[in-house]
Amino acid sequence: MSLSFEVAYDWVPPFKLHTIAIINCRVGPGFGVWLRSQTELRDVHLRGNGMSEDSIPEEWLSKISAQVICLILTRNQFPGNLPSHLKFPNSMLIDLSRNNLVGPLPLWSTNASLLYLQSNSFSGPISSDIDQLMPNLEGLYLFENHLNGTIPDSVCNMRNLEVLALRSNQFSGEFPRAWRAGSNLLFVDASHNNLSGNILASLGVLSLLEILKLNNNSFDGKIPYSLQNCSSLRSIDLGDNRLSGNIPLWIGGSNVAMLYMLQLRSNLFTGHIPHNMCNLSHLHILDLSHNNFSGMIPSCLNDLGSLVREDNKDVLHYGFYEQATLTLKGRQHLYNTTLILVKSIDLSSNVLEGEIPKEICSLVLLGTLNLSMNQLTGKIPSKIGNMHLIETLDLSHNHLSGQIPQSLSSLNFLSYLNLSYNNLSGRILSGNQLQTLNDLSIYMGNPLLCGVPLSTQCPGDDLKDAKDKNEDGNDKLWFYVSVVLGFIVGFWGVCGTLVLKTSWRYAYFRFFDDIKDKVMG
């Protein structure tokens, strides 16, 4: 807020505005009289103005509601309640997000197509007749509030609704089940609530659905077969529920070929990872961690085209509103606008067995590979250094054996490495990026590994140390001898000549006498 809009709080201007747009300028902290007097406004855009002391005046809202088309008061930290019963017959957009508004959701009658009320402290349920109060609504953004109760079935009647964003509230009960064919719904996010029951088969009628996020709830049962009818699906996040059964074979089929993210982490899934998932050529985020998957890692992972070559078709339509929690570099991170840049495979904490398929080394664009806490055996693939963009590599808590591949030292972006608790042997590599990864925990639990940073010395290190010390001693000896010889030669080369050659001695002292006379004269 480098610019301030400073007028007297009680100033009454001699004009009536139809449009006002003041963005990221200091206007507050109060809602001044000069602004309350503007009752003929049609377009209001007051964003990020620090108006945090006064609540939004009910009288002012009532006067402008009849004609206002666009009402944007976001990012001001307005406190207090909103008037409950108002009509906005001409409004197209209402944005009161990111304030400190409290109390129940306003029961407004409006023709608005977009309603942004997210990131406040609203509480209570959604009105059961929301479909009648807001019949033209296309985007309903209520995430990050304190709303509770059930999600009313009436939202299924909102034929124009495209975005239903209810993340991070306290909704309970089942997800609405009255969905009908012909719905325009594209984006559903009911994550981080207390929803339960089965994921309803009726969702399969949402043929335009692209983003489905029901993670961090208490859903149980299986993934419904009908979801394969949602042929536009691009992102599925059902993580942190109690879902069970196998991954259905339709995931990887031609009906959902555009999937770029599949998150099923922290459920009760069993069975093998189906090979037809390799058909998802746009997939660049795969998280199946913390389940009970068994069998071998599919060797066809090199068919995941988005991890082998750049795919310009991956464009997030809802980049700011879709977010995902991913485990990268040993800790969980929340991604939203940069989600499209993440390329990650996380199969950790399952019971996978067999060798790491060498084909996985073809995923040259992969940034994170986590295969930890499984039952994997065999050697680390020798060409793992081909994954030149890898930043996180976690193979810990398996039964891997053999030496650490030399190609690992060629990775320039590696910032997190964990090879602990395996059966690896031989000398620990050094050089390039590995020199910065000298944490003991990276290699611990491998009794046959040796070398820095472990205290275990490799065979032959004693002889090498003795040779190095001997060479160091010889170097020091020759250094001192050369210093002494240099002094003797330099000193007697000059002084010895003057002592033995009388004429040179006379000339030498005569030269200094001449210099002295010139200086003194």
Specify which of 3-12, 136-145, 298-307 reaches the highest per-range mean pLDDT. 136-145
Q: Is residue 477 part of a domain?
A: yes
- Model pLDDT, residue 469: 53
On whether both 87 and 231 belong to a single domain, the answer is yes
Q: What is the CATH number of the domain that holds 156?
A: 3.80.10.10
* Residue 438 phi, psi dihedral angles, 5° rounding: -110, 30
Angle between helices 502-520 and 461-500 (to 10 degrees): 80
Identify whether 405 is part of a domain. Answer: no
Residue 366 domain-assigned (yes or no):
no
The predicted-structure confidence for 91-125, as pLDDT tens digits, reads as follows: 999 999 999 999 999 888 999 999 999 999 999 99
Same domain membership, residue 219 and residue 82: yes
Of 254, 209, 262, 214, nearest in space to 233 by CA: 209
Q: Which amino acid is at 253?
A: G
DSSP 8-class letter at 10: T
Q: Per the domain annotation, does 365 fall within a domain? A: no
d(CA 211, CA 169): 19
Q: Is residue 377 part of a domain?
A: no
Q: Say if CB 419 and CB 439 are below 8 A apart.
A: no
Total number of domains constituting the chain: 2
Residue 249 sits in the same domain as residue 105: yes
Within 10 angstroms of residue 489's Cβ, the number of other Cβ atoms is: 11
Query: Are both 134 and 269 inside the same structural domain?
Result: yes
Residue that finishes a domain, picked among 348, 377, 411: 348
Residue 455 lies in a domain: no
Could you list the residue range(s) of the whole structural domain that residue 508 is in? Answer: 461-520
Q: What is the pTM of this model?
A: 0.85
Residue 33 lies in a domain: yes
The answer to whether residues 233 and 90 belong to one domain is yes
Predicted confidence (pLDDT) per residue in 414-447, tens digit: 999 999 999 999 999 887 778 888 889 999 999 9
Q: Is residue 431 part of a domain?
A: no
pLDDT band at 319 (very low <50, low <70, confident <90, very high): very low
